[in-house]
Amino acid sequence: MKGGTKAIILIIIGLAVLIPFTSTHPDGLEKVAESLGIEESEPIWSGLMPDYTFHFTENPYLTKLISGLIGLFLVFSVAWGIGWATARKNHV
């Protein structure tokens, strides 16, 4: 899958280049909650890397890059696995 490898490289380059331009402002739903004075309660499950942060670095660029790469790998693998298990074996 040559095209796939190329696409993954392009995605990683895109991530590395675009991170400095991303907005850290709240998104639509967060903004609505904020404007109504509603705060998020403690989540039931705080995740392995809550809100895309790590204990070893506070650099916002690195944090986003690392979580992006980890997430990219995880989503890719899970999607591949589920896809492979579910998809039709033979062509019409």
Partner 1 sequence: MHIPDGFLHPYLCVLMYFISLVSLSWAWRGVRRTFPRSLVPVLAVSSAFVFVAQLLNFPIVHGTSGHLVGGTFLAMLLGPHAAVISISIVLLIQAIFFADGGISTFGANIFNMAVIGGLSFYIVKLLSGSSSGQKRLSASVFMASWFSIVLGALACAIQIGVSPIFASAGGVMVTVPAMLFWHIIIGIGEAAITTSLVSQLSRFSPTVLSGLSMVRGIAYERRY
Element (H, E) at 71: helix 60-86
* 69-78 as b/e: b if 16+ CB within 10 A: eeeeeeeeee
Q: To the nearest whole angstrom, how small is the minimum distance from the Cβ of residue 59 to partner 1?
A: 15
Among 3, 55, 56, 58, binds partner 1 (CB under 8 A): 3
Q: How many CB atoms lie within 10 A of CB 64?
A: 19
Which chain residues interact with partner 1 by CB under 8 A? 1, 3-4, 7-8, 11, 14-15, 18-19, 21-29, 31-33, 35-38, 40-52, 64, 67-68, 70-80, 82-84, 86-89, 91-92
